[in-house]
């Protein structure tokens, strides 16, 4: 006998959780599509974003939302600065470009996590928000926590904005060209460096902002990055690497699976189920659930 009230609430929880994952998956999918780098530092961008929220919010009257524009700009610059390094280690005459990219970003991730841990200590920090508190109860359906709903809306909006940029603007076309065939794009006169920096900068900006939202939803802690790196990887695997629209489906699948397993199967088995799904999807359909991802090597 399934309790309808609990059931719909679990669906809501799952969808909103998926919304959080979407905010991370969008930027990551873009970065992978354009730079072909699997970025180990993605979770740490989330973490640093959350800390930025915790540290800067008091300057804005203890309201985390107002930190977001600062993070967007600041992280864009950071990303634009980091991108040339990544580009450098994954191209040229180097052997093992993929491994070099992975390990470089792993080093970056360790550096970021270690720095925050050393400077700010290991404790949790609240990212306050007086505007995004509580939940909205819709009778007959369930309660929608405000901060999570806003996060999900943010993620989906970001996705829409990115899609618009990619498919309706010249800059976006350049980026798509680079993603498809870098050499030819260069031959066409596209400045690879500039557009890759834009792409990576946008990815860092979005992921950092996601971090602020995640900080408001949960808390900021130097060790929080690893789990989000894992979820980012999950997202692109399920979505199909480089296939943006798949990100929404991936988020929904991950969020709902987590919620339903937690409540109707057993809390302990949630992560096991998730990892098993990722592994199986990779074996059976590496180009994502919809099969639309790049079959890159």
Partner 1 sequence: MTAATSVLDRLPGARRYWYASGGVLLLAWPLVFGPFWARIGLGALMWIGLAQSWNMIGGYAGYLDFGHGAYFGIGAFAAGVAMAQFGYPFLVGFALAAVVATVVAAVVAIPTLRLTGAYFAIATWAFAEAIKQTALVTGITGGTFGLSLPRSPDSFVGIAAPFPISEAFFYYAMLTLCVGTMALTYVLFERREFGFRVKALRDDQDAAESLGIDTTRVKRQVYVLSCVVAALFGAVHAWYIVYIHPNDVLAPIITDRMVIMALLGGLGTLTGPVAGGLLVFLLERLSSVFLGSTTFYLPLIGTLIMLTVLFAPSGIIGILRGEVDATDIRENVRALKERFNLR
Partner 2 sequence: MGGAVTAVGLAGCSGSGGGSERDYFKLGAVTSLSGDLRFGGEVTQRGYDLWADTLNEQQGGIEVGGETYEVQIEYADAQSNPSAGADAASQMINAGADAVLGPYSSNVTLAVCPIMEQNSMPHITGSAESPQIWEQGFEYSFGTIPTVSIIGNEAATALLNLDPQPESVYITAVNEPFSVATGEAMRAAAEAAGITVENYEEFPRNTDYTNVVSAAQDADPDLHFHGGHIGSHVNLVNAAEQLGYTPDGFLMHYGVNTGSFKDGAGTQAPHSFGATVWIPSVERSGGVLFGSPGAYAEAATAAYDSAPDYTQAGSTAAGIVFQEAFKELGAAPPLSQDDKDELIGILEEIEVSTFYGDVAFETSGDYYHNNVNTQTLLVQLGTDGAPSIVGPEESATTEATYPAPAWADR
Answer whether 249's CB lies under 8 Å from 290's CB: yes
Residues 27-86 that bind partner 1 (CB under 8 A): 38, 84-85
Closer by beta carbon to partner 2, 9 or else 285:
9
- Dist CA 145 CA 160 (whole Å): 23
> Pattern of binders to partner 2 over 143-172, x per CB under 8 A?
x-xxxx------------------------
Is 134 an interacting residue with respect to partner 2 (CB under 8 A)? yes
Size of the site for partner 1 (CB under 8 A): 51
Residue number, 8 or 257, with CB nearest to partner 1: 257
Structure-derived torsion over alpha carbons of residues 117, 219, 246, 190, reported in degrees to the nearest 10: -50
CB 153 within 8 A of CB 15: no
- Determine if 125 is a binding residue for partner 2 (CB under 8 A): yes
> Which of 197, 217, 225, 234 is the binder for partner 2 (CB under 8 A)?
217
Instruction: Figure out which of the listed residues 6, 59, 77, 110 binds partner 1, where binding follows CB under 8 A.
Output: 110
* Lookup: tokens for 26: 């969008």
Counted residue by residue, the chain has a size of 297
Structure-token pair, residue 263? 């409540």
Q: Is 157 in the site for partner 1 (CB under 8 A)?
A: no
In terms of CB distance, is 192 or 256 closer to partner 2? 256
Which one of 190, 256, 286, 290 is in contact with partner 1 (CB under 8 A)? Answer: 286
As a whole number of angstroms, the distance between CA 289 and CA 286 comes to: 8
**What SS3 class is residue 137?**
strand
Are the C-beta atoms of 186 and 249 separated by less than 8 Å?
no
Mark 176-215 with x for binding to partner 2 (rule: CB under 8 A) and - for no binding: ----------------------------------------
Distance CA(50)–CA(158), nearest Å, equals: 18
The Cα–Cα gap between 240 and 132 comes to: 33
Quick count: other Cβ atoms within 10 Å of Cβ 113?
20
- The alpha carbon dihedral of 235, 239, 243, 245 has a sign of negative
Long-range interactions of 184-188: CB distance < 8 A, separation 24+: none
156 binds partner 1 (CB under 8 A): no
**Which residues of the shown chain bind partner 2 in the complex (CB under 8 A)?**
3, 5-6, 9-10, 13, 16-17, 121-126, 128, 133-135, 137, 143, 145-148, 217-219, 221, 223, 227, 258-259, 262-263, 267-268, 270-271
**Which residues of the shown chain bind partner 1 in the complex (CB under 8 A)?**
38, 84-85, 87-89, 92, 94-96, 98-100, 102-104, 106-115, 117-118, 191, 193-194, 197, 226, 230, 233-234, 237, 241, 268-269, 271-272, 275-276, 278-279, 282-283, 286, 296-297
């Amino acid at each position: 006998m399934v309790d309808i009230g609990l059931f719909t609430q679990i669906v809501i929880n799952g969808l909103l959780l998926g919304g959080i994952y979407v905010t991370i998956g969008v930027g990551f999918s873009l970065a992978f599509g354009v730079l072909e780098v699997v970025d180990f530092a993605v979770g740490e961008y989330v973490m640093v974003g959350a800390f930025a929220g915790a540290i800067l919010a008091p300057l804005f009257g203890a309201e985390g939302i107002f930190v977001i524009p600062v993070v967007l700009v600041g992280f864009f610059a950071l990303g634009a600065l980091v991108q040339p390094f990544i580009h450098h280690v994954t191209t040229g005459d180097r052997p093992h470009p993929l491994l070099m990219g992975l390990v470089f970003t792993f080093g970056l991730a360790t550096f970021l996590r270690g720095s925050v841990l050393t400077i700010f200590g290991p404790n949790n920090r609240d990212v306050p928000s007086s505007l995004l508190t509580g939940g909205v109860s819709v009778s007959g359906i369930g309660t929608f926590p405000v901060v999570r709903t806003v996060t999900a809306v943010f993620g989906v909006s970001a996705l829409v904005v990115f899609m618009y940029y990619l498919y309706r603007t010249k800059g976006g076309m350049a980026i798509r060209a680079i993603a498809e065939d870098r050499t030819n794009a260069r031959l066409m006169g596209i400045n690879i460096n500039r557009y890759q920096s834009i792409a990576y900068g946008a990815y860092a900006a979005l992921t950092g902002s996601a971090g602020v939202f995640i900080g408001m939803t949960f808390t900021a802690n130097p060790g929080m990055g690893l789990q989000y790196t894992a979820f980012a990887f999950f997202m692109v695997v399920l979505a199909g690497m480089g296939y943006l629209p798949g990100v929404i489906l991936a988020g929904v699948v991950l969020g709902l699976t987590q919620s339903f397993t937690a409540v109707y199967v057993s809390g302990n088995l949630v992560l096991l189920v998730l990892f098993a799904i990722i592994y199986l999807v990779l074996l059976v359909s590496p180009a994502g659930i919809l099969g639309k991802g790049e079959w890159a090597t």
